[in-house]
Amino acid sequence: MKPNPALGPSRRRRSSNTSRLTAAALLLISLLQPGLLRQAQAGDIEVLHWWTSGGEARAALALKASMQAKGHSWKDFAVAGSGGDSAITVLRSRVVSGNAPAAAQIKGPSLQAWAREGVLTSINEVARAERWDELLPQVVSDQMKYRGDYIAVPVNVHRVNWLWVNPAVFARTGAKVPNSWDEFFAAAETLKKAGVIALAHGGQSWQDLTLLETVAIGVGGADFYRKAFVLREAAELSGPTMEKVLTTYKRIKPYTDRNAPGRDWNLATAMVIKGEAAMQLMGDWAKGEFLAAGSLPGKGFICTPAPGTAKSFIYVVDSFAMFKLKNPANSAAQRDLASAVMSPEFQEAFNLSKGSIPVRLGLKMDRFDDCAKASALDFNAAAKSASLLPSIANGMAAPSAIEWALKDAVSQYWNSDKMSAAEAMKRMVEATRAK
Ligand code: GAL
């Protein structure tokens, strides 16, 4: 340590003794409580998401806890509702006003769109050090990169094409859990005659389209789904298979209830949990709701692939896009967030609550339930047989302008008593031209 020329000799000695003492004290503190010294570099970490339902909020808590354990202060930026539609609107206004959060729940092709605007930052430093390329399925790592740089970190894999069943309601009414659409309508009729709401539905446009994509893969198969929704070929969007899909879709409506319009998805799940409705067709974020309510798989609820979709897998990969930040401590916290999200501990804790499966390859599934184990097996099998498909309704398959236009067209068809399937197909083709 250099002597301080501004001090006299004795004060200088006292000063260097004091420094030695302070250094020793700091060393002791750091040995006893490693977290304390790191606080010096602690940053604020603000994360925008829409995980506000019971199961989602439990999962989001796992993220908060892991950041707090690293000494950072967590600023929750949750915007409820509508499969994230409201959250993205709020995010846009924050980014436009130069006040972006550290990270935001953005997924699929939207990641590229945000990156093109120049507002995202590279997290290659973390990704390279931790060898993410080897830890992620390539279909996922490709989507997390912009021009070769990681700009986002993936959290999970959700499967969309699930049917959630209340077995007590089925037992009471004598209905049989369906595997095909014919069986679905037979069960729905039995349930309806017994005075039960067969299908809990939330009439919001993203849920209307989630239901349609599930029917599409069940009726038309994986190849049809890919041509219609991923490649968006006009001939498939307006061909005979789509017509069959749309008429099957519309046949479901009489088995939903009058109060469906506007209902949130988790309230629809609550109807199945309480036995007010027998089934829900929804992604496995619904499982998070059953679990949060204390309902157990195989007992309180049953998960089974949506009719006709046992071999297919419509996926949603939730991810956090990383925004450019000005404060270096916050950037360091952001890198810690990226690293924490990919850690085996977080992947397990988060996904146990969320209803999804870890996106990181090779993790043990011991602590997961049978629905998650089946999902993991089906994910791998579908990846090998080209039946792994991105969800069009949940931000994975199309630029957001097209997705929104498709949601509108499909909701109009669902809600109208007069619109023909032919008219709906015309509107869907038009929607794919949205900019
Ligand atoms: C999806 C999201 C899921 C789930 C769902 C309902 O868009 O990918 O993680 O949160 O919305 O909120």
Domain ranges of the chain: 43-158+316-370, 159-315+386-431
386 C-alpha to ligand 1 centroid (Å): 24
Which listed CATH number (3.90.1150.10, 3.40.190.10, 3.30.70.890, 3.50.30.10) goes with 159-315+386-431?
A: 3.40.190.10
> Given this model, what pLDDT does residue 53 score?
93
User: Rounded to the nearest whole angstrom, what is the distance from the C-alpha of residue 129 to the centroid of ligand 1?
Assistant: 30
Please work out, in degrees rounded to the nearest 5, the angle formed at the alpha carbon of residue 434 by the alpha carbons of 431 and 435: 170
Q: Return the best residue to mutate from 204, 282, 316, 320 for the ligand 1 pocket (most ligand atoms within 8 A of CB).
A: 316
**pLDDT value of position 90:** 93
Q: Which of 47, 50, 320, 396 to mutate to test the pocket of ligand 1 (most atoms within 8 A of CB)?
A: 50
Nearest residue CA, atom 3 of ligand 1?
Answer: 285
**Ligand 1 atom nearest to 206, measured from its CA:** 7
In whole angstroms, give the CA distance from residue 248 to residue 158: 25
Task: For domain 43-158+316-370, give the CATH number.
Answer: 3.40.190.10
Residues enclosing ligand 1, CB less than 6 A? 50-51, 56, 83-84, 158, 265, 285, 316, 318, 394
Instruction: Determine which residue's CA is closest to atom 12 belonging to ligand 1.
Output: 83
Stretches in the chain below the pLDDT threshold 70: 1-40, 82
Give tens-digit pLDDT for 100-111. 999 999 999 999
How far, in Å, from the CA of 166 to the mean position of ligand 1? 22
Residue owning the nearest CA to atom 10 of ligand 1: 51
**pLDDT at residue 275, rounded to an integer:** 98
Residue nearest to atom 4 of ligand 1 (CA): 285
Give the span between the Cα atoms of 294 and 151, in whole angstroms: 37
What is the DSSP-derived secondary structure letter of residue 323? B
Fold identical between 43-158+316-370 and 159-315+386-431? yes
Widest CA span in the chain: 98
Between the CA of 177 and the centroid of ligand 1 the distance, in Å, is 26
Q: How far is the CA of 13 from the centre of ligand 1 (A)?
A: 63
Kindly give the distance from the C-alpha atom of residue 342 to the centroid of ligand 1, in angstroms, as a whole number.
19
Q: Which atom of ligand 1 is nearest to the CA of 107?
A: 8
Q: Whose CA is nearest to atom 6 of ligand 1?
A: 83
- Sign of the Cα pseudo-torsion (423, 425, 428, 432, in order): negative
* H runs (alpha helix) in 131-180: 132-135, 138-144, 167-173
pLDDT of residue 387: 87
Q: What is the pTM of this model?
A: 0.90
pLDDT tens-digit map of 143-190: 999 999 999 999 999 999 999 999 999 999 999 999 999 999 999 999
Distance 174 CA to ligand 1 centre (A): 33
Residue 102 Cα to ligand 1 midpoint, Å, equals 20
Q: Atom 8 (ligand 1): residue with closest C-alpha?
A: 318
Helix (H) or strand (E) holding 131: none
Ligand 1 centre distance from Cα of residue 132 (Å): 24
Mutate to test the pocket of ligand 1, among 318, 354, 404 (most ligand atoms within 8 A of CB): 318
Position 22 scores a pLDDT of 52
8 A C-beta contact, residue 135 and residue 338: no
Asked if residue 196 lies in contact with residue 277, where contact means CB atoms within 8 angstroms, the answer is: yes
Token pair 């069009």 is at which residue?
392
Pair 83, 285: CB distance under 8 Å: no
Which of 337, 338, 341 minimizes the C-alpha distance to 354?
A: 341
**Residue 82 has what pLDDT?**
66
Half-sphere exposure of 212 (CA within 13 A, CB side): 35
Cα of 285 vs centre of ligand 1, distance in Å, is 7
Q: Which atom of ligand 1 is least distant from the CA of 156?
A: 9
- Separation of CA 422 and ligand 1 centre (Å): 31
**What's residue 11's pLDDT?**
43
